[in-house]
Amino acid sequence: MGAIAVRMLRASIRMVLPLAALAGSAAFAAQPAETDVDLELVLAVDISYSMDTEEQQVQREGYGAAIVSKPVLDAIRDGLLGRIAVTYVEWAGSEEQATIVPWRIIDGPESAQAFAAALAAQPLRRAYRTSISGALAYSARAFEASGVRGLRQVIDVSGDGPNNQGEMVERVRDEVLERGVVINGLPLMLKRPSSAMMDLGDLDAYYRDCVIGGPGAFVLPVRSVDQFPDAVRTKLVMEIAGLPPAAPAEPETLTAVPAAGVAQGPSSCTVGEQLWRDRFGN
C-alpha cells in the first residue's frame, strides 16, 4: 500500500470513529483530549497474598521491561496509527482495585520509558482475596475515561487463582464482552497445586472457560518465574498487533493457547468460591 493510500485510510478511520466524548473519572483520567489510537489496553495485575513479594517484583519488572522492549515498540510502530493507550491496574478482593499508572499514550521509546518509570516508582502492595470479576468490572469502567478512541479495547488480566469473592466471574465476563472488549489471560501457575492454598492445577483451563473471551482471545500460561518476562512481552506483542494465538504446544513451552485449545471439558467457574467455603465455611 502506497504512502498516499495509507494516509487516506487513516483519514477515513478517523472520520468513522465515534465523535461523542467519553466520560471522565478521577480514578482513570490522564489524557487531556480524545486521541485516536490503535489499541486501548488495560493491564490488570493480581496482587493477592497468594503472590509472594518476589513474584510480585518479577511481575512488576516484567511489565516495565516489556513495554520498552524492541518487539513491543516495533508492534506499536507498525500499527495503523502507530500509538496505543495503556493503563496499569492492580487488583485483589472485590473492593480492592487501584489504578497504579493512569492512561498514557505510548508512541515510541520516550513515552514507553516514561510509562515504565512511572510503574517502577510505585511501591509494591498486597491485599486479600481474589475477585477476577471485580477486576474485570473495574477495568471495563476504565475505558470510559481513557480520553482516547481506540480501534480495539483489550483487558489483559493476570492472576494465580480462581475467583473467590464478589460477583460470579462468568456473569461479569459476559457483560464486558457485550461491550466489544476482548479479554486475554495470563494465568500464573508458579506453585505446585495445593488444596490448602486453594490452588488449581488447571488454572489455564479455568481462565479459558471462565475469564477470557472475544475475537482472538487467548490464555498464555506461565509455569515458572523465569518465563514471566518473555510471557509478558509475547502477550503484549500479540495484543498490540492483533495476532492470532498459536496452537497448543508442550506444557513447559511458552505458547499462547486460543480459547478452544487448553483442555477438554468445561471448567467449573465457581470452583474458587467452593474452595473458599470448604476451607473457611463462609
Residue in 190, 180, 186, 192 with CA at minimum distance from that of residue 132: 186
**DSSP β-bridge partners for residue 85:** 40, 105
Which residues fall within 8 angstroms of residue 132, CB to CB, at 6 or more apart?
157, 159, 162, 163, 169, 211
Between 198 and 32, residue with greater pLDDT: 198
Give residue 267's pLDDT: 77
Averaged pLDDT, 65-82: 98
Q: List the helix and strand counts (H, then E) for the chain.
A: 9, 7
Quick one: cell of 146?
481513557
H or E element that contains 185: strand 182-187
Give residue 28's pLDDT: 52
Averaged pLDDT, 167-177: 96
The pLDDT > 90 percentage for the chain reads: 62
Give residue 197's pLDDT: 57
pLDDT band at 199 (very low <50, low <70, confident <90, very high): low
Distance CA 161, CA 129 (A): 10
Distance CA 245, CA 24 (A): 34
Instruction: Tell me if the domain spanning 33-280 has CATH number 3.40.50.410.
Output: yes
Q: Do 137 and 42 contact (CB within 8 A), yes or no?
A: no
Give residue 175's pLDDT: 97
Using the predicted structure, report yes or no on whether residue 127 has a pLDDT greater than 80.
yes
Question: Collapsing DSSP states into helix, strand and coil, what is residue 269?
Answer: coil
Q: Is 174 exposed, middle or buried (0-12, 13-18, 19+ CB in 10 A)?
A: exposed
What type of residue sits at position 189? Answer: M
**For the chain, what are the domain ranges?**
33-280
Question: For the chain, what is the mean pLDDT?
Answer: 83
Give residue 237's pLDDT: 97
Distance CA 67, CA 108 (A): 10
Between 7 and 273, residue with greater pLDDT: 273
Phi, psi (deg, nearest 5) at residue 97: -135, 145
Residue in 96, 139, 93, 99 with CA at minimum distance from that of residue 122: 99
Q: Do 204 and 193 contact (CB within 8 A), yes or no?
A: no
pLDDT band at 253 (very low <50, low <70, confident <90, very high): very low
The pLDDT > 70 percentage for the chain reads: 75
Distance CA 131, CA 205 (A): 17
Using the predicted structure, report yes or no on whether residue 156 has a pLDDT greater than 60.
yes
Q: Do 213 and 153 contact (CB within 8 A), yes or no?
A: no
Averaged pLDDT, 33-44: 92
Averaged pLDDT, 66-76: 98
pLDDT band at 3 (very low <50, low <70, confident <90, very high): very low
Give the count of beta carbons closer than 10 Å to the beta carbon of residue 250: 6
Give the number of C-alpha atoms closer than 13 A to the C-alpha of residue 274, restricted to the C-beta side: 6
pLDDT band at 114 (very low <50, low <70, confident <90, very high): very high
Between 183 and 3, residue with greater pLDDT: 183
